[in-house]
Amino acid sequence: MGLTVWMEVAVVATIFAIGHIVFGHWAAETPVWRRLLKFVVTLGLTLAISAGVGRRWAFLLLGLMGLGVVFVHAWWLPKHGINGWTGEPKEKYYKLRGWKYPPTT
């Protein structure tokens, strides 16, 4: 029985679906094309690594990306005076993202 990449597709799609449902409001001003591009690039890299060197390496990539998220939220955002869990104060968060505050939508 040959291995397929459907497991990788399911895992990446699930991560993005849960992420957008739970945390999507923090990317409210991010253009849709950028959010779609992020998904396509992440899925493409995951599939390429899985096909090239194996599933374990693909999941290692996803784990490293997760560590990157933890790093940003636990250290980098607080360093800039923003709560990494709540994104407050919103004025600073929006300024850091280069968005106008209050939101236009």
b/e for 40-52, b at 16 or more Cβ within 10 A? eebbeebeebbee
C-alpha span between 40 and 38 (Å, rounded): 6
pTM for this structure? 0.83
pLDDT value of position 3: 61
b/e for 15-37, b at 16 or more Cβ within 10 A? bbeebeeeeeeeeeeeeeeeeee
Domain total for the chain?
1
- Can you give the residue range of the structural domain that contains 61? 6-97
Residue 53 lies in a domain: yes
Residue 103 lies in a domain: no
Residue 102 lies in a domain: no
Residue 1 lies in a domain: no
Residue 34 lies in a domain: yes
Q: Phi and psi of 100, rounded to 5°?
A: -85, 140
Q: What is the pLDDT of residues 1-60, one digit of tens each?
A: 346 889 999 999 999 999 999 888 888 889 999 999 999 999 999 999 999 999 999 999
Residue 84 lies in a domain: yes
